């Protein structure tokens, strides 16, 4: 049986957990990257996301399924206050994260076309794990430089990276570009929910969300490498269910 929790050695833990400043009581804890069963590689149902977020103290969650807002719409109907309708969109280069979508953006568009469609509906745009070269679709440095002026933020911490190097590179690149950071677990299984989240001032629409990101305090730790097995397992289950 797989372990349900994972303890990091103390030294490593200290190295990857950012020193936390005092967080005002009225700030929110927000998780900005999470997959439900509307993604082919997750088995989490929207209601389970909401239940689990409540258990672990997540106040707002952006559901960012692969090229779909179906799971986010279902969750939004169940918990309108908590859920932000998001999407992780595969472009002809890397992946984008959109928040506050009203309609889905299809996979396979050039990045600037996807950005245009997100802008047209007033979405907030971030870039998924920009320096993680272990992922399928991956951004090059030149591509990132080209899109940076057209996005609102960059994902500066993704808990599914195998090491902190790509997260550090993303944070440094965001700083150079003058962009705020988003952070999320990229959860495809329960145990991962909330492993990376942001403490932010209260917000309730795209503009105040973007303003909140400017003041965000990350609360982050990497997930153990075996969580990637959960995505493979989900794909197998889904393939079996289709038969």
Residues that bind Zn ion (CB under 5 A): 88, 186
Q: What is the distance between the alpha carbons of residues 206 and 86, in angstroms, rounded to a whole number?
A: 12
Comparison of 169 and 201: residue with beta carbon closer to Zn ion? 169
Smallest gap from residue 14 Cβ to Zn ion (A): 27
Of 60, 17, 36, 27, nearest to 189 (Cα)? Answer: 36
Tokens 């928040």 locate to 99
Cβ neighbour number for residue 200 with a 10 Å cutoff: 24
Contact status, residue 146 vs residue 179, Cβ threshold 8 Å: no
Comparison of 186 and 192: residue with beta carbon closer to Zn ion? 186
Comparison of 74 and 128: residue with beta carbon closer to Zn ion? 128
Contact status, residue 82 vs residue 57, Cβ threshold 8 Å: no
Q: Is 130 exposed, middle or buried (0-12, 13-18, 19+ CB in 10 A)?
A: buried
Smallest gap from residue 50 Cβ to Zn ion (A): 19
Smallest gap from residue 35 Cβ to Zn ion (A): 6
Q: What is the distance between the alpha carbons of residues 214 and 8, in angstroms, rounded to a whole number?
A: 30
Q: What is the distance between the alpha carbons of residues 224 and 163, in angstroms, rounded to a whole number?
A: 10
Smallest gap from residue 19 Cβ to Zn ion (A): 27
Closest residue (Cβ) to Zn ion?
186
Comparison of 88 and 132: residue with beta carbon closer to Zn ion? 88
Token pair for 203 = 């917000």
Strands (E), the chain: 28-31, 60-66, 83-90, 95-99, 124-127, 154-158, 181-184, 196-200, 217-220
Comparison of 66 and 168: residue with beta carbon closer to Zn ion? 66
Smallest gap from residue 118 Cβ to Zn ion (A): 16
Comparison of 87 and 186: residue with beta carbon closer to Zn ion? 186
Smallest gap from residue 25 Cβ to Zn ion (A): 31
Comparison of 176 and 232: residue with beta carbon closer to Zn ion? 232
Of 133, 139, 173, nearest to 153 (Cα)? Answer: 173
Smallest gap from residue 88 Cβ to Zn ion (A): 5
């Amino acid at each position: 049986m797989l372990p349900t929790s994972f303890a990091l050695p103390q030294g490593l833990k200290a190295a990857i957990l950012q020193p936390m400043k005092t967080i005002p009581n009225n700030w929110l804890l927000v998780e900005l990257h999470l997959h439900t069963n509307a993604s082919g590689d997750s088995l989490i149902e929207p209601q389970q996301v909401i239940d689990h977020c409540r258990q672990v103290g997540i106040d707002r969650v952006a559901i960012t399924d692969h090229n779909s807002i179906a799971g986010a719409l279902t969750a939004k109907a169940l918990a309108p206050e908590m859920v932000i309708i998001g999407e992780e969109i595969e472009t002809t280069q890397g992946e984008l994260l959109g928040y506050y979508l009203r309609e889905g953006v299809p996979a396979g568009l050039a990045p600037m076309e996807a950005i245009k469609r997100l802008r047209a509906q007033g979405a907030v745009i971030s870039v998924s794990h920009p320096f993680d070269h272990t992922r399928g679709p991956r951004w090059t440095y030149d591509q990132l430089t080209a899109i940076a002026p057209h996005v609102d933020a960059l994902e500066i911490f993704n808990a599914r990276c195998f090491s902190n190097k790509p997260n550090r590179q993303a944070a440094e690149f965001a700083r150079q570009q003058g962009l705020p950071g988003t952070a999320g677990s990229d959860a495809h299984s329960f145990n991962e929910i909330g492993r990376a989240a942001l403490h932010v001032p209260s917000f309730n629409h795209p503009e105040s969300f973007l303003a909140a990101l400017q003041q965000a305090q990350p609360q982050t730790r990497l997930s153990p490498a075996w969580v990637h097995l959960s995505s493979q397992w989900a794909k197998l289950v889904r393939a079996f269910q289709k038969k």
